[in-house]
Amino acid sequence: DEAIALELLKPNFDGDGGTSSSTGVGFVSLRLSVAPTVVFVGELPFAHSGFEGIDESDNAVGNPYLGVEFHPQNSSVFLDVGVRPPVAPENNSALFVGILTDQQRWGAFLPDVMSVKGGVIFRHRAPTGLVTRLRVGPNVWIPTDDGGDAEVVASYSGQVGFEAEQVSVLGGITGQAILTEDDMEISERTTHQAGAIVTFVAGNVRPGIFLQLPLDEDLRDTVDFVFGLNVSIDLP
């Protein structure tokens, strides 16, 4: 329930794209138990873009996440709700890297947009170590500069894996669908990605490696895959 974590994501662009090796996205997050069944979750995103042979580069702090999770006792179902206030800068190429890198957290890199999300999560671990996790919920993107219409996006995911005492493996599919655009085909309003993560346990430290693969043709034309490293430290 209580941990601090760092997550680093490195996109591999189709044909390399001339980007520097440091181009990527990161997230620093914090989880704190504030009540017997309530956990505070905070996250600060950042992104960097650079190009080979060019001295100029962009850095950006994205829209932070402030949320809570409600964990009923003795239940495999819990809820999450949160908001991302709009602090991301405009006209910054690093934010574009963030959008291409992490489909499920677009709200972290949209300038002049406040995003609000909620979700229902089911997570079950069998005595054999088999883990199943499902999540579904809405994201609402609210423009803050030009008075445009808000967008409602359905976010959903399903994962299955195995947990042992010192290692866990989890894989699955995540996706989202824009619900408020009537003139879009299904293929245009949805994005999906497959992913897998391996996490190790060493005392109160949990390092992990993961891989994400875009499943939509338009995004695959730009990003081949995303490789990531993360580490979380359980707080005493």
pLDDT tens for 58-101 read 999 999 999 999 999 999 999 999 999 999 998 888 999 999 99
Where is average pLDDT lowest: 117-131, 159-173, 177-191? Answer: 177-191
CA neighbours within 13 Å on the CB side: how many for 6?
5
Strands 38-50 and 65-70: antiparallel
pLDDT at 57 over 70: yes
What region does 17 belong to: left with phi over 0, alpha with psi -120 to 50, or beta?
left
β-bridge partners, 44? 28
pLDDT at 55 over 80: no
Mean pLDDT, range 38-50, rounded to an integer = 95
pLDDT tens for 205-233 read 999 999 999 998 888 888 999 999 999 99
pLDDT tens for 141-178 read 999 987 688 999 999 999 999 999 999 999 999 999 99
- The pLDDT assigned to 185 comes to 79
Look at the pTM and tell me if it is higher than 0.75. yes
Cα–Cα distance between 101 and 24 in angstroms, integer? 8
Residue 12: closest CA among 230, 212, 174, 193: 212
Residue 126, judged by CB atoms within 10 A of its CB (0-12, 13-18, 19+), counts as exposed
Distances from the Cα of 95 to the Cαs of 20, 85, 99, 116, 221, in angstroms?
Answer: 15, 15, 6, 19, 19
For the chain, helix, strand, coil in percent to 5 are 10, 60, 30
Contact 141, 110 (CB under 8 A): yes
